[in-house]
Chain A
Amino acid sequence: MMRYRVHIKSWQRTLVDSDVFSLASNEITVLFGESGIGKTLIAQAIFGLLDPDELHIRLNGQDYKRYLRSQEVRDLQRNGFFVFQEPSTHLNPLLSIGEQLNEGSLARATNERPILEALWQQSFERQIAPLLKVYPKPFRPSGGEKQRFLLAMAFKKLSLRNAGMPGLFVFDEPTGSLDNRYRNIFLRELMQAYAQNPFTCLLITHDYSMISVFERYHSAMLPHVHFKELRRKRGGKVEMIDFEPRAYTDWLSKQRATSGKFSAENTVLKVESPFRVFGKEFFFAGENGSKHHTLQVRGGQLVYLKAPSGLGKTTLAKIIAGLQKAERIRFELAGIPLNEQSNQKIWRRHIWGKRLAMVFQHADEALNLQARVRDVFKGLPGGEATDPQKIQQGLKDFFERSVNERFLNQKVAYLSGGQKQRLNLLRAFLLQPQLLILDEPLNGLDFESLRKVIEMIQRKRAAGSGVLLISHNEEIFDHIIPPKDRYRLHTTT
């Protein structure tokens, strides 16, 4: 067992203070926890990736500079690998993907092609080989492809490892840019590699549906998989506790797909198929595969829009919200006909905050981090949204605690990722729009918050708002939303 006490402080405040963080040697630890709680920071500290001159760090009571010089951290790095959560930051834009796949010790692993083919499930010559010559740019290869290249590097490193060697493989949100199919392929490859030669693995994720994948396809390996959760204690310390996978599976099995009550005449959004953006034609398909549907959301209806990562779900949401232009599109929003030539004035005067509200996917970017919690609600239109009592009630519902002055005066930047996401949602939930667009509403939430948010979405629907949902969490939303209310976004090119 590898045990750590980690204390990380910036010049301003404590970032992480954890007395117990343990990883079972040669086992797989799956770590959940709301974003911003310190999962990545602890993993980076253990792997020796933090800058001791930027932060004040103590690891197991010793100075971090000394830890960085120790044999322990050298072994972890030499025989391990760290897959970063944001693939773009991991890849060097001045080296081609192929060169990076064979950089340093990775050049000794000659099994590149089978690994890539396994992760892509496509022809090496036609689909993968051309990408190896590409110098990574923000837009090419796609996020999902970059992520798979990083995973391929990790698997190459794994193949070089001799049994019994100390080392650590950290996969930080390794499936954040992958759809469910590729996520499952990654987990299959990971478990195969583990079965051949066990290694110490830390898998950091927010994706609770991984539990179902492990239970469904890798049950034989479950004794070697430890589900843990990082949780904040009173006083600000974080602790690593066991996460009971049944808590999730039992909750999920209790969810029922209901359409709710809505009137067929009360259409709040109707987007015609196909539409054209960035030179690509897009169309909607039903869950059963039937093509060229019109995406339709009615008041009181919850509609789920699915698509592989990077295809354009968020772009469509922004087009509907009047923040981006399409080359060709026709849609109707709460009785207002709109197209690619419509002026933004229409949204400003008649739509934003009145007929439509949208919740952006990254709370960190969607909220003003320098504002205090109470400031987040300032300037919202409509009487109810700015009513202090209503805000207090909303905060109590979302945060399940007495909302005191200290909390209201806290800077948003100092809230945890999950708290930020709940605040991000609450701001829109206080409004009474006819259409509510939720882009990845479960991003960065721990299980408790996730359940609460699902409950709030249901309540919003019951109150009569039409809700258009965009999310990677297919397992959860497939349980809640009936097939006829689910759409898939496709592109013809």
Chain B
Amino acid sequence: MNGKKKENHSSGRTSAVRRHEMRSSLSRILRDLIRRAEKLEAYKAQIWLGLWAGGLLFVWLWDFLFLNAPERAMLQIAFGNSMFIASVVAIWTMVLGWLLAFALEFWEVREKTFLKTVGQFALNLIRSLPQIVGVLLGYVWITYLMDQGRLAGSVSAMLWMAFFLSLFILPEVVDMLRERIRHFRQSDFYNAMRVLGIAEWRIINDDILWKNSRIHLLNKTIAVFASAIFLQCSVDFIISVGLSTRVSALNLPTTLGSLLANIDSKQDILAIGYSLTHPWYFPNLFFVHLQGISVAFVIIFTLFALFKMTNALAERFHL
């Protein structure tokens, strides 16, 4: 009896030890997972960049398999055009923003009141117009040029579109850069360098904007890229729906916004609403209504991924 008791006791102890070991190894695995997740936190922006690329690749593969060739080609052109315009907007806005911010601050330091007032007035004039209205006015100019036959080729039309978009996104970039310059102008390092005879243009451009604001610039570039896509899609959608055929978006290069306003895409989007009341229709969205769904997905997913990237950068670098 005693032997059995001892056996039971020892087997009980063994299982207790096992349970303890299992618990501790489980908690070790959990801790390890948490640590890995924490490490991944630092690469959130890169992860979202990867997810964006992956998502776009997935849509392209799906469309390659299930969307007819002419519509797929149109989608590719629209996507390419939209990305081209947004990239040009991002580059122009950042370059123009840098130049203008530097000029305004430099004129302020050098007490060039007239030049500063003119620059500030021009910036405020742009700021006084709502972005979308400003871009629409820009499109009026583009259609006028087209009407006059002065705008040949889609690249020059896209460059004009990019110019107007960047013009109306410009103020927020200038504000951000000026805020950075002003922040550092209050600091000792700006004065410490000036007193040693280092030129102001070098301190502002190299030390403040380049060395101390690169992450801000990168973050803003991504945000500008996203703004450009959003504005462009909004305006292209509006003019594609609202303008007469005399001055029609058909003359302008195809973009994601104009493709979304296309009659086929509109029907595809309406199908989403239909599938809400007729759930068995839902699978058709991914095979029958692919053009509109793809365009909508690319726009929304791109904006969402870009938003997540800027947020991740802001969190990581405490912007």
Contact = CB atoms under 8 A, between A and B. Distances in A.
Nearest to A371: B211
A360 B196 contact: no
Q: Most chain-B Cβ atoms within 10 A of its Cβ — which of A352, A368, A427?
A: A368
B38 to A, nearest CB: 8
A224 interface: no
A365 interface: yes
Interface residues of A, number: 32
B211 A358 contact: no
B195 A367 contact: no
Interface stretch (B95-103, B184-192, B255-263, B306-314): B184-192
A359 B192 CA distance: 7
A431 interface: yes
Interface string B34-72: 000001001000000000000000000000000000000
A379 B193 CA distance: 9
A368 B195 contact: no
Q: Most chain-B Cβ atoms within 10 A of its Cβ — which of A357, A367, A370, A378?
A: A370
Given A362-B188, A366-B188, A380 B196 contact: yes
Nearest to B200: A348
Interface string B191-210: 11111111100110011000
A322 B192 CA distance: 12
Given A368-B211, A371-B207, A379-B202, A352 B187 contact: no
Given A365-B189, A378-B206, A357 B211 contact: no
Given A368-B207, A368-B212, A380 B191 contact: no
A438 to B, nearest CB: 12
A353 B197 CA distance: 4
A365 B187 contact: yes
A371 B206 CA distance: 9
B194 A352 contact: yes
Contacts of A427: 196
A354 interface: yes
Nearest to A366: B192
Given A378-B206, A379-B202, A368 B196 contact: no
Nearest to B38: A11
A460 B217 CA distance: 41
Interface in A335-357: 345, 348, 352-354, 356-357
A321 B197 CA distance: 11
Contacts of A370: 207, 211-212
A366 B193 CA distance: 8
Contacts of A11: 39, 42
Contacts of B187: 365
Interface in A409-457: 424, 427-428, 431
Contact of A431 (B42, B196, B202): B196
A353 B188 contact: no
A286 B194 CA distance: 32
Interface of A: 11, 318, 321-323, 345, 348, 352-354, 356-360, 362, 365-368, 370-371, 375, 378-382, 424, 427-428, 431
17 contacts: A318-B191, A322-B195, A348-B194, A357-B196, A358-B192, A360-B192, A365-B187, A365-B188, A366-B192, A368-B212, A370-B207, A371-B207, A371-B211, A379-B198, A379-B199, A381-B197, A424-B192
The 5 closest A-B pairs by CB, nearest first: A353-B197, A381-B197, A366-B192, A365-B188, A379-B198
